[in-house]
Amino acid sequence: MSTILPALFRRIKAPAWQRERLELADGDFLDLDWARRTDRQPRPLLILSHGLEGSTDGQYIKGMARLFLRRGYDILAWNFRGCSGEPNRLLRMYHSGASADLAAVIKHALGFRHYKEIALAGFSMGGNITLKYVGQRSGRISRRIKAAVAFSVPLHLESCAYELALWDRRIYMWQFLRSLRLKLEEKATRFGDQIDVSGLAHMRTFFEFDDAYTGPLHGFKDARDYWTRSSAINWLADIKIPTLLVNAADDPFLGGLCYPAGLARQSPAFYLEVPRHGGHVGFGPADREGQYWSERRAWDFISDFIPPISWPGQ
């Protein structure tokens, strides 16, 4: 219920997003949604990464944006390739290991010099991408990036794929596969014999889908190669900036390896919290201001490293 209720009943008005198209070096694009003030006075920036088959219209994205906007931040929420309402240009799509796309977004944001302090927040797949980015970059990460938070993160992809294949959880997987199937069918109309979708309708598990499509389309040998090379758990020990992972104990998407307590105990920068309840990107109900626990927790953690003062234009 912690997973389902917020998705069904939470409704938040979107910020006045200003869309910008970021052209990528490979000829594709990312659509960025900004909520920012126009004066370009120094203030912090929060960069938000959504989950599988989500977008910047997700309630959890809008909820986090609302709280940080109220407290003086500008917001940059980016849509994964093909998730902004318009198909991306290339045959490839997005995937759990696409930290290079987040790197392109961050590089673009760093070009705005008035953002002296930047925080990252990711949810589900976006959380895996965020954790992979901060671990991979390690000592090379910009000093302007002060902290990161990630919620409901499938940071060990193989165990999560098997978890979602259990009978009582397959409804979630089937919903994702249905949405992904529509995107691949659209690509087949544009790319013809470059992609074979003849067996797509019969696929029932992430292993089948990732083995046939996600892996090969993105330079991986097969599903297990994709899962192994894209799982953020491989980079957690290398994280150097303050980073909080929150995975609820009752998250139906996550396998046991997504709760790396030992790594958190050994790391001076990586923190793990496991609340009893919260489901997958749930963490409701809302408080009197309409904010969920996850949003307040993100604020409290980030505020330890970006002090909450009165910024111009707040």
Q: Between 293-303 and 59-70, two packed helices, what is the crossing angle to 10 degrees?
A: 40
Burial group, residue 292, by CB count within 10 angstroms (0-12, 13-18, 19+): buried
H-helix or E-strand containing 231?
Answer: none
> Could you give phi then psi for residue 193, rounded to 5 degrees?
-75, 5
What are the structure tokens assigned to 15, written together? Answer: 């910020």
Residues 6+ apart with CB under 8 A from 278: 2, 152, 246, 248, 250, 251, 293, 294
Look up residue 314 and give its two tokens: 């707040």
Instruction: Please name the residue that has the structure tokens 């609340």.
Output: 275
Residue 117's nearest CA partner among 92, 148, 90, 87 is 148
Contact 235, 129 (CB under 8 A): no
Residues noted as catalytic: 124, 251, 280
What's the CA angle centered on 308, arms 306 and 311, to 5 degrees? 100
Amino acid at 235: W
Q: Please name the amino acid found at residue 229.
A: R
Nearest Cα residue to 35 out of 67, 7, 60: 67
109-to-1, 14, 60, 176, 297 alpha-carbon distances in Å: 37, 21, 22, 30, 24
In whole angstroms, give the CA distance from residue 128 to residue 97: 7
